[in-house]
Every structure is written in C-alpha cells, then in structure tokens.
Amino acid sequence: MTRPRGFDEDAVLDAATARFWAHGYGATSMRDIGAATGLGAASLYNAFGDKHALFARCLDHYLDGTMRERIARLRRTHRPRAAIETFLDEIVARSLAGDRRGCLLINTALELGPHDAGIRATVAARLAELEAFFLHCIRSGQTDGSIHPGRSARDLARLLKATVMGLRVLARAAPEAATLKGVVRAALALLDPPTDGARV
C-alpha cells in the first residue's frame, strides 16, 4: 500500500514556485526549496523528482493560476475580439502591479531557453497554449466580423503571442503604463476589420 504524503502538495508547490519566481532557476537550489517548503531533501525527491522535474511542476502550477485561468475565463465569458482585448489589458495591469517579478514563463524562456533543451521544449509547449487561444479567438472573430478577414489568422496569433512576451519583458525594464498601453493599441489595430471601401 502506498503511504499517504504528510504534506499539502499544493502548498509545497506554492512555496517552491515563489522561490523559483523570486530568484530564478539557476540561483535556487534544492536546499533553498527545502527551506522554503519545510521539507527535507528526501521528501522533495520522492514526491517531485529532481530540481528539473520539480521546476516543470512549478511552472505548470503557476500557469494553472495565471495564463490558463485567464484563457478559460475569457473564452467562457467574452466574445472573441473582446477576449483578446481583455487578455492584453489584464497583462498590462498585472505587469504594472505588485513587486514586478515579471512572468515566470517568460523569465524562464530568457534564463534557460538558450541552453536547456528540456526547459526550452517545456516553455515552447506552454507558449503554444497561448498561441492556440489567440488563434481560436482570431478565427472566430474573422467569422463574426470583428477581426480583419483578409489577414493570416496564424500570423496574427503569433504576433499577439510575441506582444504578450514583449509586454512582460518591457514592463521589467520600463514599467510605464503609457508605453505598455501604446503597444497594445498598435497590436489591436492590426485586427481591425477593413472600413467601407477599403481593400481587404
């Protein structure tokens, strides 16, 4: 019989995620995670595997409460064009609020993407979820007339994904509302349907 764990897994992931988010992957050791979670090394390894495996779990745990929650909520409550606009508005608001640690996913892409193939693949898969959300909204918006029907939906989805990544990086270097909102306005303008008499 498997022995039940004597800890709250979500609480442990919360603490470990907070440590990785605050200090980055490279500057965080399993000893640091143990101090943050109150668990010994053996318990951490038995429950989550090595540091690499634990970090992947933390990244998913983080996204469940941020990007994935936002995508599910907006797809449920907003029309396609409004879902895109609200998503970007919330990214700007989140980027300007709090301690400005940035986005753990984007931080990870910058820190580990160039030299860790496993993490690079994980980040790419998670970013693909974001692109898929934008692609769904764009195609639906092209059908209902709220988004330009003559532009490549795939290209627009990739541009919006890049916009989100750029907003998150820019907010850490130049956290100015006018700048971030200007980026969003320019990106959204590319979605506008043609005016009467304009060429598609």
pLDDT tens track for 96-137:
886 778 899 999 999 988 888 988 898 999 999 999 999 999
Please state, in angstroms and rounded to a whole number, the distance separating the CA atoms of residues 81 and 83: 5
CATH of domain 66-189: 1.10.357.10
For all residues of the chain together, what is the average pLDDT? Answer: 91
Structural tokens at position 59: 């990244």
CATH of domain 9-51: 1.10.10.60
Structural tokens at position 8: 């709250």
Task: Give Cβ neighbours of residue 160 (< 8 Å, ≥ 6 apart).
Answer: 84, 88, 131, 134, 138, 187
Residues of the chain with CATH 1.10.10.60: 9-51
Residues of the chain with CATH 1.10.357.10: 66-189
Residue 66 has pLDDT above 70, yes or no: yes
Structural tokens at position 98: 């709090």
Unique residue bearing structure tokens 């306005």: 185
Count Cβ atoms below 10 Å from residue 108 Cβ, excluding itself.
25
**Interval 53-59 mean pLDDT:** 94
